Amino acid sequence: MAAMIMMKRNARIALMVLLTAGLWLALKPTIGNRRLTFLPVRWSEYVDFMDFWFNLGAFGLLGITAWLAFGTKEKILSRAFVMVGIITLLNVLLELVQTSIPGRAVDMADLWAGLLGCVIGIASGLVSQRLMNGRHPNNAVPQVLFLDQTGRLGGAELMLLDIASARAADSEVILFHDGEFRAALESAGVKTRVFRLGDEASAVDRQAGLSRALRCVPGLVDLMLRIARAARSFDVVYANTAKALIIGGPAAKLAGCPLVFHLHDIVADGHFSALNRRLLIFCANTFANAVIANSEATKAAFISSGGRAERCVVIPNGFLIPEVRSTAADIESRRSSLGIPPDAWIVLMAGRLAHWKGQHVLLEALQAMPDAHAVLLGDALFTDEDREYARRLHVQAAVPALAGRVHFAGFQSETLPFFDMADVVVHASVFPEPFGRVIVEGMLACKPVIASRAGGAAEILQHEHTGLLVEPGNARELADVMMRLKNDPKLAADLAQNAQRTAHDTYALHAVQAKIEAVIRETACCENEQAPVAETTAQIRQAA
C-alpha cells in the first residue's frame, strides 16, 4: 500500500515536470519573439495576449486532468477533458480571427493541431462520462460512506446502526471517535474506520461560540481532507450528525460526491448556538443534495432557520418489531436485581441523562407518588454539562421523599427487558424532542406512554388515544397524569394497545429503510443536481 502511494506520488511529480517543460516549449515562441504584451495597445497585441492565456489555461487544465487521472473520480476527469476541448476550440477561433489583422495569416498547422486537440478533449470527456455511467447504472446499489461524529450510542447512532447494517456490503462508516458504536457496527458486519478528531475540535459542542470554533479549524481541515480522500471511492456521502455535515460537506464536494444529510436535531435555540445554527444551515444548503428530517418538527425548524424546504423530506426512525418479549420470571428477576419491591408501580424513563431530557422533572413528580418507583435507563453520554447534571440527579434522588425509589440502571445495550417490566413509560423533555425513539419503544412494548407536548413527541402520540401528553417541564401535571394511569388500569391498557398497533403500522424498520434507500439512490443518480428529493417526498406521501 505504501509502495503504491509512493509510486503514484512519483508519477505525479514526473507528470508535472513534463507538463511544465511542454508549457515552456509551447509558449516560448510567443515570449521569445517578444510578441507578448501584458498591457496590449494594438488589436494584434490583444490576440497574442489571448493566445497566451488560452494556451496557459489549456495546459493548466491538462495538468489537473492528468493529476486527477491517478485514482480520483472520473466525473471530474470527464469535465476537465471537456473544458480542455472547449479551451482548445476557443484557441482555434482566435487563430481564425488573426486573419482579420493586416499582415497576419492563418497558421494551418496550428489550426489543425487545435482542432484535433479540441475533438480529442471533448470526445475523451464524453467517453469517460459514458464509462462512468456504465459503472454506476441506476439499478446498481450505490456505495455509501456514512459519517458520524461520535463513538457513543445515542438515538441518531442507533438509527444509523440499523441503516448501515441493512446495506453492510455496500457501505462503510467513518466515526470521529472510537467507542461502543464502532463495536456495534463491526459486529453487524459494517466496515468501520475511526478518523479521530483533534481534542480542540472535539471540545466544540453545539453551543460553542466563535473563538472556540476558530481554534479547532486546523484539526477540522485535516479531517476534512482525509474524508475527501476516502469518499472518492463512494457514490454518496451520508452525514448523520451536525459535525459530520460541517466536515463531510466540503469533503464530499472535494471528492465530487453527492451528499445526504440526516438531520436528527431541532435547529433552534436551546439545542444550538446562533453561530452553529447558521453554520449548519449554510452547510446543508451548500453541500447537501437531500436532507432527511426525523419529524415534521425537525423539518419546520430547519426551514424556519433558513434551510431549503425543497431538499428536505421527513422520514421517522424505524424499529425492529421484537418477536420475543420477557417472561414473567425475567421481569421478576430484573426487579429484584434493581432492588424494587414486587408490588411497586414502576415508571421507566429511558434515554441519556441530560438536562433537556428532563429526568429532574420526573423525580420532582415522583415525590407526589409515594408508592411509585422510577427506573432511569441511560447515562450522561456526550458533554461535561451532562455529567454534572447526572451528579445533580443522584443528589436529587437521595432526598428523604425519594430515597430508595429511584434506580439508576446506567447505559444498557439491551433495553427491551426494562420496557417490559415498566407500568408506564415517561418522556419528559423540557425542550422539543426532535423525534423520541423511547416513546416508540414504549409503544411497541405495549405500555402506556406519557410524553411532553412538543416537537416529534407530539407527532408520535395522539393524546388520549395512543398516549397522554403533558406540558413540558410541568412536574405537577406529570404527577397528576401518572396518578390517573395508576388508578385507572383499563385506561392504561387501552392506551397501550392502541399505541402498539399504531407503532407496528407506522415505524416498522423495513419500511423506513426502504424510504431512506430511495433517497440514497435518487441522490446517487442525480449526482450534483440540487433538489433531488421532491419526487421522493411525493412518493413517500403517496406510500403513506
Is there binding between residue 457 and ligand UDP (CB under 6 A)?
no
Q: How far apart are CA 342 and CA 325, in angstroms?
A: 19
Interacting stretch for ligand UDP, rule CB under 6 A, among 2-10, 57-65, 184-192, 410-418? 410-418
Write phi, then psi, for 309 (nearest 5 degrees). Answer: -65, -35
Q: Minimum Å distance from CB 428 to ligand UDP? A: 12
Choose among 17, 23, 33, 13: nearest CA to 57: 23
Distance CA 436, CA 439 (A): 6
**Of 153 and 190, which has the nearer Cβ to ligand UDP?**
153
Residue with cell 394497545: 497
Contact 17, 50 (CB under 8 A): no
Cβ–Cβ under 8 Å, residues 30 and 52: yes
Q: Which three three-digit cell numbers place residue 403?
A: 430515597
Answer yes or no whether residue 256 interacts with ligand UDP by CB under 6 A.
no
As measured in angstroms, the least distance from the Cβ of 422 to ligand UDP is: 12
- Window contacting ligand UDP (CB under 6 A); options: 94-102, 339-347, 349-357, 493-501: 349-357
Report the b/e string of 146-174 with b at 16+ CB within 10 A: bbbbbbbbbbbbbbbbbbbbbbeeebbbb
- Pick the binder of ligand UDP from 158, 368, 491, 508 (CB under 6 A): 158
Q: Which of residues 488-527 bind ligand UDP (CB under 6 A)?
A: none
Q: Is 351 or 432 the residue whose CB approaches ligand UDP more closely?
A: 351
Query: Residue 361 Cβ, how far from ligand UDP at the closest point, in Å?
Result: 15
- The residue range among 281-289, 322-330, 368-376, 411-419 that interacts with ligand UDP, by the rule CB under 6 A, is 411-419
Contacts of 16 (CB under 8 A, 6+ apart): 63, 67
Output 153 or 424, the one with its CB closest to ligand UDP. Answer: 153
Closest CA to 408 of 421, 384, 428, 391: 391
| 408 touches ligand UDP (CB under 6 A) | no
Q: Is 435 in the site for ligand UDP (CB under 6 A)?
A: yes
**Binding-site member from 154, 219, 248, 532 for ligand UDP (CB under 6 A):** 154
Smallest gap from residue 212 Cβ to ligand UDP (A) = 23
Stretch binding ligand UDP (CB under 6 A), from 90-98, 119-127, 150-158, 366-374 = 150-158
Residues 314, 302 contacting (CB under 8 angstroms): no
259 binds ligand UDP (CB under 6 A): no
The correct pick among 114, 117, 121, 155 for binding ligand UDP (CB under 6 A) is 155
Instruction: List phi, psi (to 5°) of 189.
Output: 85, 15
Q: Which three cell numbers stand for residue 196?
A: 479521530
Q: Which of residues 353-392 bind ligand UDP (CB under 6 A)?
A: 377-378
* 307 interacts with ligand UDP by CB under 6 A: no
Quick one: 437 or 515, whose CB is closer to ligand UDP? 437
Q: What are the residues facing 452 on neighbouring strands?
A: 470
Q: What's the min distance (Å) between Cβ of 150 and ligand UDP?
A: 10
Instruction: Pick the piece of the chain touching ligand UDP (CB under 6 A) from 148-156, 181-189, 339-347, 472-480.
Output: 148-156
Closest separation in Å from C-beta 379 to ligand UDP: 7
Least Cβ distance, residue 318 to ligand UDP (angstroms): 11
- The CB-of-210 to ligand UDP minimum distance in angstroms stands at 26
Among 77, 350, 374, 469, binds ligand UDP (CB under 6 A): 350
Stretch that binds ligand UDP, among 32-40, 346-354, 474-482, 535-543 (CB under 6 A): 346-354
Least Å distance between CB 264 and ligand UDP?
6
Cell of 38: 501584458
For residues 452 and 481, the answer to whether their CB atoms sit within 8 Å is no
Instruction: Give the closest residue to 96 by CA, choosing from 82, 79, 115, 77.
Output: 115
Q: Amino acid identity, residue 239? A: A
- State how far the Cα of 176 lies from the Cα of 150, in Å rounded to an integer: 6
Least CB distance to ligand UDP at residue 411 (A)? 4
Phi/psi-derived region of residue 174, left when phi > 0, alpha when psi is between -120 and 50, beta in every other case: beta
Q: Which of 437, 447, 515, 521 binds ligand UDP (CB under 6 A)?
A: 437
Specify the residue for cell string 452553529.
276
Counting contacts by CB under 6 A, is residue 351 touching ligand UDP? Answer: yes
Say which residues have a Cβ less than 8 Å from residue 204's Cβ, sequence separation at least 6. Answer: 212, 213, 216
Alpha helices by DSSP H, 232-271: 242-255
The three cell numbers locating residue 489: 388500569
Q: Could you tell me which stretch among 109-117, 129-137, 344-352, 396-404 binds ligand UDP (CB under 6 A)? A: 344-352
* Nearest CA-CA partner of 190 in 238, 259, 126: 238
**Residue facing ligand UDP at closest CB distance:** 155
Distance CA 182, CA 153 (A): 9
412 binds ligand UDP (CB under 6 A): yes
Residues that bind ligand UDP (CB under 6 A): 153-156, 158, 350-352, 377-378, 411-412, 415, 435-438, 441
